[in-house]
Structure 1
Amino acid sequence: MSHRKPSASLAAAIAVIGLLGACSKGPSHAVDTEGVEKVNAYIACFNAVEQPIHEGFQQYTGWMQDPKAGPTGKEAHVRGPGMVLSHRVALCNEPMVAALAMTPADAALDPPARTYQQRFVDLYALIEQTDRYYTREDYLRDDHAGMRTQHGPLMQAYMAFFEASDALDAALETREDERRRAQLKEIEAAEGRSASYYQLRIVGDAKQLVALLTAETPDLAVARTQLAAFQALLKQAQDDKIGKGDAMWGHLERAADGLARDAGRRVDRLQENKPLTRSEQILMQGGGRIGNPQGSAEAVTDSYNDLVDASNQLSR
């Protein structure tokens, strides 16, 4: 039993923060200021806890022969789900409650954000309880009874959280796409296809490309078309001499080129139907960027995150 979200999901949410400020060097846009504080609070909570919750889930269920049935008490090695750093947890408490109370209400984002926050609070209470149980090795003194009784409620809470996570992620994606289209239209009308325009286009189009290439069943024909369009966009920016002589723009340009390269490798690997080797899987489990093989969804996501980082640096 596993719960695999698209690899680009977390990065896409990170990109929202960068895109909200991407046009700060250009004219003032009303669309940028409406509800930004509220939306950023939702994004901050999402980004803070998504990855550690998913990693903890994999850590907790990874040693079980059948996670759906739960632990038997006969396993050689057991692990709790692990705690999330307190400063990450804090971002989903008071700041989220305050954001949810902000007016005007947001009919599209408030309901999934409220559900997400509540389900995280409920889940994390069980995670803390379960992790302390395993850390103290209480199962050695209760004939493993606690392992069995805690498993069902914890797994139900995980599934409820993942459902809320998918809903909030989709709502944030929709909002980002709407905001991006409006920003691009206003920037182009005010200043033409400037550096701000290309910055927003590059990061936004990259997000769409990565989403295609990290889906569970990628559509190769669509991905090839999207990759060709992304490469054409980068060439057009270069031909227009955007950011010429600007070192920070150079960082973004190199990151975008790196993504185009890794996206191409991903397309090739998918076309060849080449699964990860056992050695590649072991390297990836070891963590670190060196562990992500060429053509993997993780390598594409890493390159996208580099692009987002470069964009955020350029916007400061």
Structure 2
Amino acid sequence: MRTRTLAGLGLILLATACSKNTDNAPATTTTQPVAASQVQVAPVTAVTAPAAASAPTASSSDKLQDYIACYNQLDRNAHRSIARYASWVKNMETGPSGKESVVYGLYKIDVDEIAKCQASFAQAGKAAPGKLDVAATAYINSLAELGTLVADADQYYSRDNYKDDAFAKGKKMHAPLAAAMKLFEEKSNVFSDEIEAENDKVLDAEMQQLEKTEGRQLPYLQMALMSKAKHLIRLIGEEKFDAATAAKALAEYESVTDEAIAYVKKNSESAASGWSSLERASEDYRKAAKERVRRIRDKVPYSEGDKMMLKPGSAWMVEGSQEKVTKAYNELIEASNRMHR
């Protein structure tokens, strides 16, 4: 599985990295490690956006904002529900055996919110539909199908009905439920990729305009910080990556982050009320990224204790894990977005 948190277009214009892990667990699209107890990197020069970048129209921006908002609201919970089900159904090919010692059921998915997004997506897709709109439609329709099946399964398991029919209905529900889960994961990956591609264009155009009109003040530095954070997570969010390349990306993130921190110290009156939270989140992300890089760079294997923790709900506590750096990144996104509310 892969879960992402996509920062809103009108907020910080950033899409999060892929994380095939739900709740930051190794089985989903996880985040990647970077190694280096002392990462040696050269200072970074100014962030420059492609000269050809052009700002989107208001309508396309509104559409992207709507897609991101729905994705953020719905995607993570859907992946969490899938992960919870897979955590006790040991064989997703065959389904529950009826001999499970622990039955967790699933997490609910908000079908009413899915319906709202389905309606807004249908309206948004009418205007000059492109790849993003096609991906959005496929995504929300697959989620709607999954939501209906999960609601039925959740009721069955939460009421302990499986104890009365010896898992008869649970076994019958499994095949369509597992198929819907697989389809949703596929459509979720495609949709998030398309959002990121479109969001990157918007971010580049916005950063270019900000640097041109205002210079390297806090609005620009915040965007640059988040852009570098996103680039870094795309590297270290994978199971394997090149440590040297990741170290360079980490250095770029640290450079612009330090520039932003120094700017606020000199211009404290210009900082938004949420800056302190963003600064803390940026430091937590920096630390988690360094741990991840070090683990990969130094080829540090997970201990037996680590392996026991590498599961949904606890994997984020393992130093240098994909899940820990993903969690730190998502919290950075949330802190950044709060500055704009």
Within the candidate set 2, 6, 14, 2:7 is matched to 14
* Superimposed CA distance per residue, residues 54-97 of structure 1 (whole angstroms, 9 cap, x where no aligned partner): 2221221222332212122222222322312x4xx333212431
Q: Secondary structure at the match of 1:105?
A: coil
Q: Find out whether 1:260 has 2:286 as its counterpart.
A: yes
Distance, in Å, in 1 between the alignment partners of 2:63 and 2:183 is 23
**1:206–1:304 Cα contact (<8 Å) kept:** yes
Question: How many pairs align?
Answer: 298
- Greater displacement, 305-314 / 173-182: 305-314
1:197 Cα offset (Å): 1.2
Q: Find out whether 1:314 has 2:339 as its counterpart.
A: yes
Within the candidate set 228, 237, 261, 1:214 is matched to 237
Q: Find out whether 1:202 has 2:237 as its counterpart.
A: no
- Greater displacement, 247-256 / 212-221: 247-256
Residue 92 and residue 219 in structure 1: after superposition, are their counterparts in 2 closer, same or farther (change >3 A)?
Answer: farther
Partner of 1:167: 190
Q: How does 1:133-282 map to 2 (within 5 A)?
A: 133-238=156-261, 244-245=267-268, 246=271, 248-280=274-306
**2:84–2:106 Cα contact (<8 Å) kept:** yes
Residue 55 and residue 17 in structure 1: after superposition, are their counterparts in 2 closer, same or farther (change >3 A)?
Answer: farther
Identity of aligned residues (%): 28
Q: TM-score, normalised by structure 1?
A: 0.83
Residue 20 and residue 145 in structure 1: after superposition, are their counterparts in 2 closer, same or farther (change >3 A)?
Answer: same
RMSD, aligned CA: 2.7
Matched residue type, 1:19: I
Residue 154 and residue 99 in structure 1: after superposition, are their counterparts in 2 closer, same or farther (change >3 A)?
Answer: closer
Matched residue type, 2:64: V
* Superimposed CA distance per residue, residues 127-184 of structure 1 (whole angstroms, 9 cap, x where no aligned partner): 1112222223333333332222111111011111111100100001101111011111
Within the candidate set 82, 85, 89, 1:60 is matched to 85
1:108 Cα offset (Å): 2.6
Q: Secondary structure at the match of 1:35?
A: helix
**1:10–1:51 Cα contact (<8 Å) kept:** yes
Matched residue type, 2:167: H
Q: Find out whether 1:81 has 2:106 as its counterpart.
A: yes
Higher helix share: 1
1:215 Cα offset (Å): 0.9
Q: Secondary structure at the match of 1:44?
A: helix
Distance, in Å, in 1 between the alignment partners of 2:153 and 2:205 is 46
1:271 Cα offset (Å): 2.0
1:35 Cα offset (Å): 2.3
Matched residue type, 2:328: S
**2:11–2:337 Cα contact (<8 Å) kept:** yes
Matched residue type, 1:193: R
**1:15–1:308 Cα contact (<8 Å) kept:** no
Q: Secondary structure at the match of 2:114?
A: coil
**1:45–1:96 Cα contact (<8 Å) kept:** no
